[in-house]
């Protein structure tokens, strides 16, 4: 990655390695070949009910993203085993992980259960590893979080999803959706009715698309860390030393 010159005066930060310290460089935000393919989004939902409102909400989100020029895939969690209850090459685990690597952004839609996200929602996220070899399936990818409520509006599930998004090193957008009394907000065909709740979903997907377009070509730069550069340099030096023995 292209780096700007290090400041001449490093006396105030003596514990920083000058060779690995980099000033933010605006030129790194100008890729030579910007992406031209449709932004790719994976949608996860957290209920297996026949009329799952978290799934219906995710489907509305997918329609909006496609209308804005995105490509979407929705993971069906039916048959996904409990975390550590099956090997990593289980077909549903492999499918989920493949989709996570394919996606450039995600939408997480969960029901609120006992004041929290559903266990199924957490299971899906827990099956996505922080790293696979040198690959990080979620780092630098954009995320939108949504929840459906059986009663009055709350934000317990989306708040938890935000914590997980940050832990997965995702760029979680500021806006979010919480649909109160979800059973009233969808018609018999499973489509969301016109309402302020629907308008908020439009807002969230619009913001997700904007953040994706702004960041997808510069995500490696945005998530590049001094501590990781230092760790990689130290590991390289150890390998060199071992090879010289």
Q: What is the CA radius of gyration of the chain?
A: 21
- As a whole number, mean pLDDT of residues 32-44 equals 91
pLDDT band at 137 (very low <50, low <70, confident <90, very high): confident
Identify the residue with better confidence: 92 or 20. Answer: 92
Residues 165-207: tens digit of each pLDDT: 999 999 999 999 999 999 999 999 999 999 999 999 999 999 9
Instruction: Give the closest residue to 57 by CA, choosing from 107, 96, 13, 11.
Output: 107
Judged against a pLDDT cut of 50, whether residue 26 lies above it is answered with yes
Would you say how long the chain is, in residues?
245
- As a whole number, mean pLDDT of residues 111-130 equals 95
Q: Which of 32-41, 43-52, 53-62, 153-162 is the least confident region?
A: 32-41
pLDDT for res 235 = 85
Place of tokens 């890729």: 31
- As a whole number, mean pLDDT of residues 134-155 equals 91
Helices (H), the chain: 53-67, 91-102, 119-127, 156-167, 196-215, 219-222, 226-244
pLDDT for res 126 = 96
pLDDT for res 189 = 96
């Amino acid at each position: 990655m292209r780096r700007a010159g290090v400041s001449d005066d490093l006396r105030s930060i003596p514990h920083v390695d000058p060779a690995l310290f980099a000033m933010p460089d605006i030129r790194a935000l100008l890729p030579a070949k910007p992406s031209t393919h449709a932004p790719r989004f994976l949608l996860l939902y957290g209920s297996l009910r026949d009329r799952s409102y978290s799934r219906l909400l995710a489907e509305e989100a997918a329609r909006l993203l496609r209308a804005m020029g995105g490509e979407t895939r929705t993971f069906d969690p039916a048959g996904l085993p409990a975390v550590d209850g099956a090997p990593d090459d289980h077909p549903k685990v492999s499918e989920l992980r493949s989709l996570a690597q394919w996606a450039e952004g995600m939408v997480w839609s969960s029901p609120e259960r006992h004041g929290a996200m559903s266990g199924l929602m957490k299971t899906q996220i827990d099956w996505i590893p922080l790293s696979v070899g040198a690959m990080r399936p979620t780092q630098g990818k954009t995320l939108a979080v949504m929840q459906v409520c059986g009663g009055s509006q709350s934000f317990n599930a989306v708040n938890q999803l935000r914590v997980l998004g940050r832990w997965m090193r995702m760029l979680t957008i500021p806006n979010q959706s919480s649909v109160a009394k979800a059973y009233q907000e969808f018609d018999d065909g499973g489509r969301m009715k016109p309402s302020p709740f629907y308008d908020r979903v439009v807002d969230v997907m619009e913001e997700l698309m904007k953040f994706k377009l702004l960041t997808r070509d510069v995500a490696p730069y945005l998530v590049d860390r001094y501590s990781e550069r230092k760790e990689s340099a130290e590991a390289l030096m150890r390998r060199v030393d071992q090879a010289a023995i």
